[in-house]
Structure 1
Amino acid sequence: MKQLILVLGLAAGTATAQVKDYPIKPVPFTDVKLNDHFWLPRVETNRTVTIPASFARCENTGRVKNFEMAATRTGKFCTKFPFDDTDIYKTIEGASYSMAVHPDAKLDRYVDSLVAVVAKAQEPDGYLYTARTIDPLNPHPWSGSQRWVKENESSHELYNSGHLFEAASAHYLATGKRNFLNIALKNADLLVKTFGDGKLHVAPGHEIVEMGLVRLYRITGKTDYLTLAKFFIDQRGKRRYDKTDSNPWKNGMYWQDDMPVTEQETPEGHAVRAMYLYSGMADVAALTGDKKYMDAIDHIWNQMVSKKIYVQGGIGAIPDGERFGDDYELPNTTAYNETCAAIGNVYWNQRMFLLHGDSKYIDLMEKILYNGLISGVGLDGKSFFYTNAMQVTDGFTHSSLEPARSGWFECSCCPTNMVRFLSSLPGYIYAKKDDNVYVNLFISGSASLQYDHTTVNLSQTNNYPWNGLLSLNVSSEAPKRFNMLVRIPGWARAQAIPSNLYAFRNKQAQPVTIKVNGAVVKYQLKNGYAVLNRVWKKGDQVQVNLPMEVKEVVADKNLKVDSNRLALQRGPMMYCGEWKDNNGKVSDIVIPYNTKFKPVFEKDFLNGVMVLKAQVMRKDGLNNNLKKTNFTAIPYYSWANRGKGEMTVWFPQNLMNKEFAAK
């Protein structure tokens, strides 16, 4: 089987040598084996529950039937959205990742049967879009009367192609089979013939085709695919919009199309589209050396982290358009925070790290992973959030937000996106550059790395994220000198997020001690990494002790909605209060300054979690009186697994909070 780096689709040995690329390479997820108490059960649940459930729902909702009807050119498109094809693609992608590390003959045969259905639905010239192919004279209303005429807005033809390319690349690299890859290449060749200089010009309405084309380029070495990816990115800002109109659809901001990408300075528009655009820009920048792309995404990233992200890592605050709002527009009661946007943000931050080697990108990625991303899937593996709320009260009525989890959605992009992401998680733990090994995530398991034909094995043993004592064992075939770069998380350095948007009230950082073979060592901190340089040999052990205090998080003064409030964090985990643990209500809880919290691990509760217990204050009826009450906080990701009820992340510190006092 080919060596895999499926997170970014980097394949060892492409058809053409690539001079430029990401300076840092992730260690392939197929070379990382998990035995982690936190993540392994989630990956296994994804394999045994979520993937089968996703395939079943693709069948019983008509998504598979759409392909069957397209194959015969008869019938009527039977689901709601023209991008429903991608739910099959994404589930195949996740299944491929899973089979790469956990061979499954039955699943392999089933995937092949779906690929055969997809192949029959493809038109002779490579076009693949069931919403038109089923009945070309009466296509989906979002699609337009002819191919591509509504691509810049609603048709999602290129979005479908992008997910096809991602899935087919994963399937080929995991199985070695070309049946799905050939479908993707035929479609990609159609795009090359259709779009480009002297041909059709369009800025894709929903980005991801750019990332998918890069994957195909890596596999084939065909530069036409990379050129087309860059062409699509460069088309943004060329369409005529009324730039004076404040409506983001009419001025182009919703599609990140109001100006050329190299002139854009802040994250804007539909959050998922934005994440895929910035990820695609990073890919193309890495492969072409385009410094203007790099400068643009650097600036956009800084703006997002400084002004447009929630404390649990969620982005896309505004329900109307699933989009970014203005600076500091981060309402709690109507927070949108689409799960797909969290996944896209992980993709982007991984790429930013691979470009720059700075731990701040992994710090943000970790915040998203442990909070605003896995909140999107229930503990059962088959119930989901499309949106991830920050506050639920008795008066929770916003129709586009969910106070309870759902089995699936008419627009089920998030469940199937979760399928493909979780299967590839091990590829985010380690990375390499020359003689540097980056230890980015603290997830128990083993990894195998190659250095000049020498195999170096690393194994982590920890109980993270509940405990900060980490153990890393090194086993090398022969003594080998290299730098081990162990990330010292921002939260362990008294930094709540890589900006001033959120801060710990107590900014004093406890020292992080590191031992090598039992002896405390001094280390240099570089870009957030402890640099350990030595000749490593079999049996060497590194121990890192990350102090895990309960931290009070406060917001920047510009974030008015969180004024005089605090949130709770321990290690990488954000916490919330939920109705079930607090006498049926949390909207009347006050957490005074310097409340002492006691962490308690409850192994039989919510699949095993560290809860925070304290004595706080509760508002007494309509009178502005406070009385003492016991309080329990749970990890944010675990809320809404026990039915509907109140939840909140931010708590008033006293009755001076006017919004709270008025309730």
Structure 2
Amino acid sequence: MQKPLLTALALGLVATASAQRTDYPIQAVSFTKVKLTDNFWLPRLKTNTDVTIPASFQRCEATNRVKNFEMAAAHQGKFATTFPFDDTDIYKTIEGASYSMSLYPDEKLGAYVDALIAKVGAAQEPDGYLYTARTIDPAHPHPWAGQARWEKERELSHELYNAGHLYEAAVAHYQATGKKTLLNIALKNADLVCSVFGPGKRSVAPGHEIVEMGLVKLYRVTGQAKYLSTAKFFLDARGQYKGYDAKSADTWKNGSYWQDDKPVVDQREAKGHAVRAEYLYSAMTDVAALTGDKQMLAAVDSIWNNLVAKKMYVQGGTGAAGDGERFGANYELPNATAYNETCASVADVYWNQRMFLLHGESKYADILEKVLYNGLISGVGLDGKSFFYSNAMQIKNSQSFSQSEPARSGWFDCSCCPTNLARLFPSLPGYIYAQNDNDVYVNLFVSGQANLVVNKQRVQLTQQNNYPWDGNLKFTVAPAAAATFNLLVRLPGWARNTAVPSNLYTFAGAPTAAAISIKVNGKPVTYAVKNGYAVLAKKWHKNDVVEVALPMEVRQVVANEQVVDDRNKVALQRGPVIYCAEWKDNGGKTSNLVVPPATQFTAAYKPDVLNGVVELTATVPTIQVDAANNSVRTVAQPMTAIPYYAWANRGKGEMTVWFPRQVVDIDILSQTAATTTAGK
């Protein structure tokens, strides 16, 4: 039964594509066309399948998230969890399970998902409304929900947020299995949403964006224009509400918390709640691509430039401020109180992928890579079932651990981050390659095999590497018959002396002496560079081999002087990986380490450390306090740095990403003072 449905889906997508006059000029190669053999990512995807997804479903059961759907179907009981958006944890985990089953078929998991979808369908009201926080007991809905449907959608209810995650899960499930069970539930809900909201109907700027992205996905699957037009309607509804106080500095009162202070086409700066914002910007990019809206395109380009130049942490994290889970002001990037919600990194991956598909420039893939290898995978422990909600940049024993998360948790009352990771990981193969007619892009360096169709001819592309630890990349091109096309290999910014595509972070010292080299069939070649890609244009024959050598030097990173917390400090980077020092390797402390400009680091692979990492070691000055003599001195001692993503897997203690280059000041803070401050 599944094959005809998949065929119908494929035909539907073709028909939809032919009917669209405009779209992304570049298309991602589907994750189903890419099989990984990679030593770095494949074990993580397997852990996600074997541990993270089952743990997420188990925790949804144990915390009564599933029970909410059962009670909604029975129309009796009391909403049994904390937040009205808890429904989405089930949707996101179904989405991840669906992607996973495409790669690793699992009858038992499939049967469980089918049963869970049946419970979701039973909780849906006859007209398509699906929101357990109201349906269980309509006379006494969740306090955030209001007495009537959609009444508090702008501020608290998350009714449309729930719908958006439902739509994304439904499309993933349909594309992975060919089954329409969840898709039909989603379409019924979306038809209701389209009947309620639109020109001449109800208008609202959804309080927590993602329904816009979900509607675009439904449009792509069905070809029904109403889903795209409703997505655009929700975008255009921003900046129209008259109840805000534009003069207030309070982000809730002035509307910027929800990105609702200005029409989207007039927004130029990343503002407000970071996750909501980056879902919004992803949807804006979708709609700009699908409608050719040049004003929206100009807005999203400006916002991206603002974020990358003034509001992004060195490991790709976004959302500096814990109050409101929001972006700070320009260059406001504190370390001790850094928030960096894991969900914001997930959203940033979605957005940068879309920006690449729209523009075809390597800088978007550079940021996507930075986020993936650093600020995103730091959010999940090596065990696959312990998580960070926020991702700290510094932990000091003298400060209150309440300022940052010093240890991972198995679950949270608001568990959006674990389930967001569960859905992202299995879709990762879909970010590696992209195509525009006879241009084939290689964006990520992940060992595996891709099956493409270029100019109506089958081409197999195989990657072999030990990335991110080694910069030697090998690509084997195997067309079914000799074929002419362009292979575009991303030349990472970090390999071209560019830390990020802005002046927010730069590499200290002289440019690296090593250059990128490329060989085809063993012979060095000259190549054109276009938008950050090496363009290898030739007639390809079976088993042609491309070898790319990227310089893997340890670089010191410095921040723009306007980032106050990072002045006179350096971070460490090797390849795409940002490093940190952790207590475990450095005598119990990291806040006393100094890294002078001339420090030389040695890189060595340690297979038995943190599931296998390249460690950086050097001898550096450390600040030592002699309490008996009431004095301070520096003493040379060995220092070890590990990849940032791997911290907090060996217990709780100090950690830092940024190191002073010289001793210019010493904080004297008694334990009593620290405790008193922390209690406020």
TM range (shorter): over 0.9
Q: Give the superposition deviation at 1:560.
A: 1.3
Matched, 1:563 2:567: yes
Matched, 1:388 2:391: yes
**Equivalent in the alignment of 1:642:** 650
Q: Which moved more, 1:639-648 or 1:400-409?
A: 400-409
Partner of 1:621, secondary structure, is strand
**Equivalent in the alignment of 2:285:** 282
Query: Hey, which bits of structure 1, 4+ residues long, moved more than 3 A?
Result: 1-4, 10-16, 657-663
Q: Give the superposition deviation at 1:625.
A: 1.5
**Equivalent in the alignment of 1:607:** 611
Q: Give the superposition deviation at 1:656.
A: 1.5
Amino acid at match of 1:316: G
Partner of 2:402, secondary structure, is coil
**Equivalent in the alignment of 1:486:** 489
Cα distance in 2 for partners of 1:435, 1:315 equals 35
Cα distance in 1 for partners of 2:13, 2:489 equals 26
**Equivalent in the alignment of 1:356:** 359
Amino acid at match of 2:199: D
Instruction: Show CA shifts across 1:168-199 (max 9, x none).
Output: 01101111111111100000000011001111
**What is the aligned counterpart of 1:629 among 629, 637, 640?**
637
Cα distance in 1 for partners of 2:463, 2:668 equals 45
Partner of 1:424, secondary structure, is helix
**Equivalent in the alignment of 1:326:** 329
**Equivalent in the alignment of 2:674:** none
- Contact 2:316–2:367 under 8 Å retained in 1: yes
Cα distance in 2 for partners of 1:479, 1:660 equals 70
Amino acid at match of 2:587: N
Instruction: Show CA shifts across 1:627-647 (max 9, x none).
Output: 101110000000000110000
Cα distance in 2 for partners of 1:3, 1:532 equals 35
**What is the aligned counterpart of 2:525 among 504, 521, 544?**
521
Matched, 1:256 2:265: no
- Contact 1:15–1:219 under 8 Å retained in 2: no
Cα distance in 1 for partners of 2:133, 2:667 equals 48
Partner of 1:656, secondary structure, is coil
Q: Give the superposition deviation at 1:14.
A: 3.7
Q: Give the superposition deviation at 1:398.
A: 5.4
Instruction: Show CA shifts across 1:277-309 (max 9, x none).
Output: 000011111111111111001000001011000
Aligned-pair Cα RMSD in Å:
1.6
**Equivalent in the alignment of 1:542:** 546
Matched, 1:215 2:208: no
**Equivalent in the alignment of 2:350:** 347
- Contact 2:13–2:222 under 8 Å retained in 1: no
Q: 1:661 to 1:498 in 2, by over 3 A?
A: farther
Partner of 1:589, secondary structure, is coil
**Equivalent in the alignment of 2:140:** 138
Cα distance in 1 for partners of 2:667, 2:69 equals 52
**Equivalent in the alignment of 1:375:** 378
Instruction: Show CA shifts across 1:311-361 (max 9, x none).
Output: 000000000000000011000000000000001001000000000000000
- Contact 1:334–1:398 under 8 Å retained in 2: no
**Equivalent in the alignment of 2:316:** 313
What are structure 2's unaligned runs of at least 5 residues?
A: 672-680
Cα distance in 2 for partners of 1:582, 1:385 equals 23
Amino acid at match of 2:234: F
Cα distance in 2 for partners of 1:339, 1:333 equals 17
- Contact 2:437–2:455 under 8 Å retained in 1: no
Q: Give the superposition deviation at 1:105.
A: 1.1
Q: 1:481 to 1:239 in 2, by over 3 A?
A: same
Instruction: Show CA shifts across 1:76-120 (max 9, x none).
Output: 001000000000000000000011122111111110000000001
Instruction: Show CA shifts across 1:252-298 (max 9, x none).
Output: 00000001001111000000000000000111111111111110010
What is the percent sequence identity of the aligned residues? 63
Taking structure 2 as the reference length, the TM-score comes to: 0.95
What are structure 1's unaligned runs of at least 5 residues?
A: none
Cα distance in 1 for partners of 2:532, 2:6 equals 30
**What is the aligned counterpart of 1:651 among 651, 659, 665?**
659
Q: 1:108 to 1:451 in 2, by over 3 A?
A: same
Amino acid at match of 2:96: G
Q: Give the superposition deviation at 1:592.
A: 1.2
Cα distance in 1 for partners of 2:670, 2:528 equals 51
Partner of 1:99, secondary structure, is helix
**Equivalent in the alignment of 2:72:** 70
Cα distance in 1 for partners of 2:551, 2:669 equals 36
Amino acid at match of 1:218: R
Amino acid at match of 1:536: W
Cα distance in 2 for partners of 1:590, 1:564 equals 11
Partner of 1:491, secondary structure, is helix
- Contact 1:457–1:474 under 8 Å retained in 2: yes
**Equivalent in the alignment of 1:455:** 458
Q: 1:570 to 1:77 in 2, by over 3 A?
A: same
Amino acid at match of 1:148: W
Q: Give the superposition deviation at 1:659.
A: 5.2
Within 5 Å, give how 1:40-189 maps onto structure 2.
40-189=42-191
**What is the aligned counterpart of 2:204 among 202, 205, 210?**
202
Amino acid at match of 1:391: Q
Partner of 1:467, secondary structure, is coil
Q: Give the superposition deviation at 1:657.
A: 4.6
Partner of 2:625, secondary structure, is coil
